[in-house]
Structures are given as structure tokens and as C-alpha cells.
Chains A and B, each alone.
Chain A
Amino acid sequence: MAEGNVQGPSEVPDELKDTVTLTTLEKMIEAMGDLLSPVVSPIANAARSNSVWPLTFGTSCCAIEMMSVGMSKFDISRFGSEVFRATPRQADMIITAGTITRKMAPALITLYEQLPEPKYVIAMGACTVTGGMFNDSYSVVQGVDRIIPVDIYLPGCPPRPEGILDALLKLQQKIRTESYAERKKKKYRQNAVRYVDYDTGRPLEDLVDEARYETALALDPLKSLQESK
């Protein structure tokens, strides 16, 4: 089996290479998919874009607008997104409605990673776009794109329900214009940008660096002392 020869967008990511092997049949199907993409993609994408089910995820005032858009006056079900799922396993999209604090960040990352691929994120409201009025705060994550990848940015404090509908339409447009190759990229695990520690509220990469530094210090104190000089 020559996994190394797999080329193009259907390439298996490095971290999955030991578990995923593409058979000749799968490669044939992929080649067929590439061939039929102009015909199949519009149909498949139209179906997918009209059934984007959001996750019930609201952390503050934006959630009120998100509830409002689900009710009959604004009625998000006209666009096929009426089914707010209470579990990430059944949802396609997160609307991050509200401020994300350092304490909430690990939970949001967990929810994002539990969504089945392909998954989409709408960063709703000023807090999740840039930190908003909690600019330079000690506890607020300054923009949700620092922890999970975001597809649509929806500014406003909070945005009106029409704004959410507009963001949804933009997301649908994005899904509709996806080609077969782009969809292939999303077949594999989409990870969070960075992970946050439950106990300290700090990025895990910083904690790992700190631990590495301390280990080095403990193993060879003299060398570290010289380096610091």
C-alpha cells in the first residue's frame, strides 16, 4: 500500500497516517468525485446549506437575540436552521453568542471538537469578535478566533436578529460555493486553534513551555544560570 503517493486535497493528515489507509477503491471513488464535482457539488451543497443546525450555545446577552431569531417573528427556520440541538454531536454549527471568559474557553473548545465534521462557527457579537467592551480584560478571551477557527464574523452589541439571518445566509453562501476538493479537506478532524487549561485558564502551550523550562532548570541549574546571565 503506497500511502505516500496520495496527492492533492484528499491527502491524509500526518497525525492520522497510521490509522487511515486509502484503498484503491477509495482512490477510484475520489477520482470519480473530482470528475463529477461540477455536477454533484451544487446539489450536495444546496442540501447541506439548507440544513445547518446550530448548537444551543449562549453565554450572555447575544443569546437573547439568538433565541429571538428562533421564534416566529424572525423565524430562522425559513432558512433551514430552526433545530437548535442541545448536543454538539447532532449540530453542524456553533453561534458563539456571548462573552467567552478564560473559565468558559475550555468548555467551548470541547464543544467545538465534539461537533462532527464539517463544522462551522459564527462569531456573534463584539465580545467574540474582538473582546468588545471587555477590551484588555484580565479574564475575557479577546476574540473567539484565538481558540477556535471562525467562518463568519458578526459584529454588533448584540447584533439584531436580522444580523444573525444575514450571517447565516453568508454561511450558506460559503457552503454552497465549496467545491468537492474543499469539502475533502474538511473530511478529517478540524481542531481548535489552541487549548486552554481548565485549572489555570492559561493556554496549554504556555504551561508546557513553563514546565519544560522548569525541568531544564532542575536538571541543570548551572547552565540555566549562565544562560540567564
Chain B
Amino acid sequence: MSETPAAKPPEEPKGPGLCGQFLKDHGIATTRLPDSCGVETIEIDGAHLEAAMKLLRGSSEIKLDYLVAVSGVDSADTFDSVYQLWSYSNNNELIIKVRVKKTDVVEGQLPLVPSLSRFWSAANWHERETYDLVGIRYYGHPYLRRILNVWDWDGHPLRRDYKQLVDALNDKAPGSFR
């Protein structure tokens, strides 16, 4: 096993990007994060998410009118809800992250992020999937139920602390090589 060199930390961004500046002009504070694959990435407070989304979607200059995906990440000390936006007219992309600190999450409850599905129906199933796999509760969602796993599933499989169920359907067969 050769030792892999430590990954270079990503460069810190210079200042607010195109969309960050736009949101700043409209009175919504954002923090710029290191670009992800050359795409502008901003962090936003959950309380301002809906207003920011409406602005970005509705304005004629930015027009990020296609919600590509809503996903979730269980980071070391935060739960991230990640939104990927696309603009067909401007050929532009934006990634928005809403971060909930693990220390802020009430013991025995799920992290809370506001839902977009009230005004953006594309988010409906994506939020259900993120709830299912990462365990982020989107408040205001009309029907937040598991979408991939069975409805009475125990735990959220993409969590760091998830203990995988071992039973007769997936235990180690006596003759198996794994």
C-alpha cells in the first residue's frame, strides 16, 4: 500500500460570486464556500432559504429556474441540505447549502430545514428521499414519508452512525468469500 499524499485543501474563494452578490443586493446574507467543481457554492441560513429561492428563480437576470436535485450530507459536525440549481437561459449553475450544526439538533430529533415543495414541486420527492436516507426533516412538506425504503424502516441508512441490519436476508453465508 503506497501512502497517498494528503489532499490539498480547496482554495478559499475571493469574494461573493454572481449569485451571492445578487442575493446580497436584495438583502439576503450568504457565505461563499469553496467552489464545487467550478460551480459557485453558497451557504445560507435556513430562515432565508425560501425568499432566496424565490428571488433566484423569479429574477430575469439570474433565472435559476430548474431545481436539479436536493440532497443531503452527513458531515462531521453538520447536516447539510444541498440544493443544485440550473439556469437554461443563462447556462449557469449554483449550489446552495443549508447547514444545521449537530450540536443544535435536539437529542432524539431530526435536524430541521424548511421545505421548498410548497412553491417548487420538483423538491417534493427529493426532500422525501433526503429524509429517508439522511434523516433531515423538512418542515412544511405536505407528505414527508419514506420514498425508497419501506415505510417502517429503522434509521437513516446514509447517516454516519447507522448500524446496518443483519438478518437472514443479508447475513454472511457459510461458504461466502466476503
Interface residues of A (CB under 8 A from B): 102-103, 105, 130-131, 135-143, 146-147, 194, 196, 198-203, 205-206
Minimal beta-carbon separation of A23 from chain B (angstroms): 41
Interface size for B (C-beta < 8 A) is 19
Q: How many A-B residue pairs have CB under 8 A?
A: 56
B168–A203 touching, CB < 8 Å: yes
Cα A204 to Cα B52 in complex, Å, equals 48
B154–A203 touching, CB < 8 Å: no
Tell me the dominant secondary structure on chain B's binding face.
loop
- Who on chain B is nearest to A140 by CB? B170
Which residues of chain B have C-beta atoms less than 8 A from A139's C-beta?
A: 148-149, 157
A105 with B153, Cβ < 8 A, contacts A130-B176, A136-B178, A138-B164 known: no
A142–B170 touching, CB < 8 Å: yes
27 sampled A-B residue pairs with Cβ under 8 A: A102-B150, A103-B149, A103-B150, A105-B169, A131-B170, A136-B164, A138-B157, A138-B164, A138-B165, A139-B149, A140-B170, A141-B169, A141-B170, A142-B169, A142-B170, A142-B173, A196-B169, A198-B150, A199-B150, A199-B152, A200-B153, A200-B154, A201-B149, A201-B150, A202-B165, A202-B167, A205-B168
Cα A155 to Cα B30 in complex, Å, equals 52
Interface residues of B (CB under 8 A from A): 148-154, 157, 162, 164-165, 167-171, 173, 176, 178
Which residues of chain B have C-beta atoms less than 8 A from A103's C-beta?
A: 148-150
Cα A146 to Cα B170 in complex, Å, equals 9
